[in-house]
Amino acid sequence: MNNSITIIRPDDWHLHLRDGVMMKAITPESTRHFNRAIIMPNLVPPVVTAADALAYRTRILSACPQDSNFTPLMTLYLTDKTDPDDVAAAFANGIINAVKYYPAGATTNSDSGVTDIKNVMPVLEKMAQIGLPLCIHGEVTDPNIDIFDREAVFIETILDPLRRALPELKTTSEHITTKDGVDYVKSQSKNHCATITTHHLMINRNHLLVGGIKPHYYCLPIAKREEHRLAVRAAATSGDVRFFLGTDSAPHTDPNKETGCGCAGCFTATNTMALLAHVFEEDDALNKLEKFTSINGPKHYGLLPNTETITLKKSSAPFLYPKKIETAEGPVTVFNPGHDIYWQVIE
């Protein structure tokens, strides 16, 4: 049995850093273990232009510890009014690495998102021409569609027609949570991959709902049935180049989670690597952890893997990570898998 493993330093291909005092408090939790991250643009107001992205990147870098080499990979928030030429210029100038598609109203701060994909086809066509990736929150928002079915319906009604219309567009299905999502990625021979979160590998909807509602397990897309969790977990631990880590680590203060209408999001930046080592060891796949965290993502985004490494070690005593991160806005609870974790990053 392996009690330690050294891997190429990982990247996070889906990360929320927020802004202001919250960002200053939680950014070091990601820079500690990750070298790069695709930064989500759903601020208030959202990051919609190249100038917005440049300003946000400057604020992120100012929040990084002085000894950090962390590189934020910026995205633009796709809206019905996004200018294709502005997007192309931002990409050509090295300001952005992707564009983010939120269906309007799908998740936190997504009200400015796309109301109809037909409205953004000129942007998507331009992106296909220049090789700019599209990151997709893959859920429909029709109130008549059950929340547990929204990912599957999105694949059928939005994603697959888009892929057929623009097969040269490089797309990422973010935070997939269903067997439907896994199977669709596997059906695509090129230009389509998926990120998988840490928490969706570890919890199903029973963890969220049985014995009382657990607000810190509430996220969007919502956790699904066990059969879906197992399918997503099998994809993550398979070594398949089309699946890689995107934590979707999303901080909210405890009062905003533990309320009558709690915010969606799990904060996993602090302990993700320890949790992943636990998962991959359980599935006898520690030798594939590096592919999931450090190799597959850069390949999809046209980047080289990092040159540094990190080492994880399994101890006889549980790893005691912080339960909360204190911020000037209030405490942020770190994701708790509900059982002891014996792995930790040691260097």
What SS3 state is found at 246? coil
User: Among residues 83, 183, 248, 254, which one is catalytic?
Assistant: 248
List C-alpha distances in Å: 33 to 114, 249, 274, 293: 33, 13, 10, 11
**Burial group, residue 108, by CB count within 10 angstroms (0-12, 13-18, 19+):** middle
In the chain, the amino acid numbered 69 is N
Tokens of 344: 């930790």
248 is catalytic: yes
Helix ranges (H only) for 173-271 are 179-187, 205-209, 226-236, 254-257
Helix ranges (H only) for 115-202 are 121-130, 150-154, 160-165, 179-187
Extended strands (E) in 35-174: 36-39, 71-73, 75-77, 98-101, 134-136, 171-173
Strand partners, 36: 71
Tokens of 297: 């993502």
Strand partners, 325: 332
Note every long-range contact of 316-323, with CB atoms under 8 Å and residues 24 or more positions apart, other chains counting.
316/342, 317/342, 318/342, 319/271, 319/274, 319/343, 319/344, 321/270, 321/271, 321/274, 322/270
Determine the distance from the C-alpha atom of residue 57 to the mean position of all C-alpha atoms in its chain, rounded to a whole number.
18
What SS3 state is found at 53? helix
Catalytic residues: 248
